[in-house]
Amino acid sequence: MKIEILGTGCAKCNALLENTRKAVERLGLEDCTIVKIQDFNEIARRGVLVTPALLIDGAAKVVGRAATPAEIEGLLEEAAGG
């Protein structure tokens, strides 16, 4: 599973990254990669116009806010098929 955090480095972007790391750790996911993308051109290439954003396997799941660890856990479980 590939998880992308899109954002320029603002407080909400950093919170989303930290909350994602917590969710991955809580679920014990070992087969996932978290990538932080800060380059605006790369962000726009993914079709995202508002940051922060959370993409799971290329699909935007959260845009414009920092989701809670619990919310991210649910999204990750859904993406994993469970």
**pLDDT score of 82:** 64
Average pLDDT, integer, range 5-18: 95
**pLDDT score of 2:** 97
Active-site residue set: 10, 13
> What is the tens place of the pLDDT at every residue in 31-78?
999 999 999 999 999 999 999 999 999 999 999 999 999 999 999 999
> What is the tens place of the pLDDT at every residue in 16-26?
999 999 999 99
Q: For residue 26, give the amino acid letter.
A: R
Whole-model pTM: value is: 0.93
Which residue ranges form the domains of the chain, and what is each CATH number?
A: 2-79 (3.40.30.10)
Rounded Cα distance, 64 and 73, in Å: 18
Pairing, β 33-37 against β 2-6: parallel
